[in-house]
Amino acid sequence: MKMIIAIIKPFKLDDVRDALGEVGVQGMTVTEVRGFGRQKGHTELYRGAEYVVDFLPKLRLEVAVPDARVEAVVDAIADSAASGRIGDGKIFVQPLEQAIRIRTGEEGDEAL
């Protein structure tokens, strides 16, 4: 099993959710986060005063998947989250040792 973590732009959430549904993902966790990468934030104007936005709003998606479906899920996220501009995000794939469904006690792939 693998844990796929993706950092994406907030307005891409619906596209990513639809793409993941098409490849059979039944659940995910979404968290609002703030951060920056190569874009290093930007400056904005508010009531005539310029200020720096260091940390940009992003969404963190977490999806646990069986090993056989990792490539399809990563491709679905990458294709649907891409806008072609800086700040599109990142995808991380980590090993997942164990998963347990609390309600039934199922373990491993069955718990996903």
Could you give all domains of the chain from N- to C-terminal order, each with its CATH number? Answer: 2-33+59-111 (3.30.70.120)
Q: What is the pLDDT of residue 86?
A: 83
Q: What percent of the chain has pLDDT over 90?
A: 70
Strands (E), the chain: 2-8, 29-35, 42-46, 49-53, 56-65, 89-95
pLDDT tens by residue, 36-91: 777 666 666 667 777 677 788 899 999 999 999 999 999 999 999 999 888 889 99
Query: What pTM did the predictor assign?
Result: 0.85
